[in-house]
Amino acid sequence: MGLLDSEPGSVLNVVSTALNDTVEFYRWTWSITDKRVENWPLMQSPLPTLCISTLYLLFVWLGPKWMKDREPFQMRLVLIIYNFGMVLLNLFIFRELFMGSYNAGYSYICQSVDYSDNVNEVRIAAALWWYFVSKGVEYLDTVFFILRKKNNQVSFLHVYHHCTMFTLWWIGIKWVAGGQAFFGAQLNSFIHVIMYSYYGLTAFGPWIQKYLWWKRYLTMLQLVQFHVTIGHTALSLYTDCPFPKWMHWALIAYAISFIFLFLNFYVRTYKEPKKAKTGKTAVNGISANGVSKSEKQLVIENGKKQKNGKAKGE
């Protein structure tokens, strides 16, 4: 007998039980949050983070329309200050996580969350909070692209990466501001020191860009980061580390999505243009559609014009 065939009272009991279970689960999840961070900025409720992310997505949608008939903003000085500011912020986060975890005797294989007020644990939690905030600040990457009318840079990968990192790390700070969470943030902040250094240098203009030949290696470095993250998380699962299992599996799935997206970006940016360039060279200088140009066009040989392999006049 299906639910629709049940007595009205039975249906109401099922619905009531489901609602009660949902409410109890909600209360339970909030009872196990990290009490150290509950009064920190943005951490009382997910609403501010969700509102900021929603405004970000609205700007991604409406910003290009607003800029359509406007001249792009010239923002060289702003970009230099912003990018090197992000270098300093990520360097600070990396240093705090490294020193805090070192002083606390953290294991890189398995580390549970210590919710105590130990000075090193609070230092790590604070560094992770700054890491979360930095992901919100990174929304400015997209804002600057749109204001400069570099809309080709605002790809699905770009928006997906920025929006999900800020939103999901709110969950991380709220429940697990320490333990295994330190590793991914420490690794990523180090990568971002290099990345924003590159962006800051490019903002100086063409005179320095010719020396920045290592752009493609940034993408390769990010791909290495995702593989290391998956390996580290899988090892944590293998050792049955006392850290939320669902977060482990969610992180693996999240990293895999980035691997596919970044690989697609790498191929389109660095592999396909090389193939197109090779093909163009073949058309212009070697062959076209498998037939050499000397067989299709007039050529000069020994002072005589030739056509179809015979000298004119022969």
Query: 275 in a domain, yes or no?
Result: no
Query: 10 in a domain, yes or no?
Result: no
Question: What is d(CA 199, CA 143) in angstroms, rounded to the nearest whole number?
Answer: 15
Q: Which of 4-8, 65-69, 257-261, 284-288 has the lowest mean pLDDT?
A: 284-288
Query: 1 in a domain, yes or no?
Result: no
Contact predicate 42/50, CB 8 Å:
no
Q: What is the mean pLDDT of residues 129-133?
A: 98
Question: What is d(CA 46, CA 30) in angstroms, rounded to the nearest whole number?
Answer: 12
Query: 313 in a domain, yes or no?
Result: no
pLDDT of residue 209: 81
Domain encompassing residue 257: 52-58+73-266
pLDDT of residue 312: 43
Catalytic residue, candidates 161, 162, 192, 232: 161
pLDDT band for position 127 (cuts 50, 70, 90)? very high
- Kindly report the pTM of this predicted structure: 0.82
**299/208: higher pLDDT:** 208
Query: 105 in a domain, yes or no?
Result: yes
282 pLDDT exceeds 60? no
Domain count, the chain: 1
Of all residues in the chain, the percent with pLDDT exceeding 90 is: 71
- Nearest by Cα to 228 from 190, 269, 197: 190
pLDDT of residue 306: 44
pLDDT of residue 7: 62
Q: In sequence order, which residues have a C-beta less than 8 Å from that of residue 161 and are 6 or more positions away?
A: 258, 261
Query: 260 in a domain, yes or no?
Result: yes
pLDDT of residue 163: 97
Query: 179 in a domain, yes or no?
Result: yes
199 pLDDT exceeds 70? yes
Contact predicate 93/59, CB 8 Å:
no
Check if 161 is active-site. Answer: yes
Query: 194 in a domain, yes or no?
Result: yes
Question: What is d(CA 108, CA 100) in angstroms, rounded to the nearest whole number?
Answer: 13
Question: What is d(CA 113, CA 243) in angstroms, rounded to the nearest whole number?
Answer: 7
pLDDT of residue 287: 33
Tell me the two tokens of residue 13: 């009991």
305 pLDDT exceeds 50? no
pLDDT band for position 303 (cuts 50, 70, 90)? very low
314 pLDDT exceeds 50? no
